[in-house]
Amino acid sequence: MHTSTQRYLFIFCLTMFFCQSLRAEIINLEKSVESNQLTIFNASGNGIIVARECATCPDVRLNITPNTQAFHDNKPVPLSSVPSYNKSAITVVYDPATLAAKRIYW
């Protein structure tokens, strides 16, 4: 019984060692933020969203590109139909590496 416990303890320690060496770094592929400021467009569908992740955080300028998708009431709409306004909040999903807006919800 004593040898069996030692064997399990050894296997456990060996497993933990390998698990620690195989740890993967977590990378955020997307983040989301709410904004009240949205400035769109030129004819090609480009624009800027100015948002803050928190009340004391600095402004984040997100780029709207022709690849940005827009949704109103969870239904896809043309990006050109997104109004330029400062009235109600919008939710923006963006790529934190490039600051490109992927999806806009309102």
What 3-state class would DSSP assign to 46? coil
- Give the Cα-Cα-Cα angle 47, 53, 56 (nearest 5 degrees): 120
Q: Which stretches of the chain drop beneath a pLDDT of 70?
A: 1-2, 14, 16, 18-24, 37-45, 83-88
pLDDT tens readout for residues 27-46: 778 988 887 766 665 556 67
Q: Which domains does the chain have, with CATH numbers?
A: 31-105 (2.40.50)
C-beta of residue 102 within 8 angstroms of C-beta of residue 64: no
Residues 10-49, buried b or exposed e (16+ Cβ, 10 A)? Answer: eeeeeeeeeeeeeeeeeeeeeeebebebbebbeeebebeb
For the record, the structure tokens of 16 come out as 């933990």
Q: What is the pTM of this model?
A: 0.67
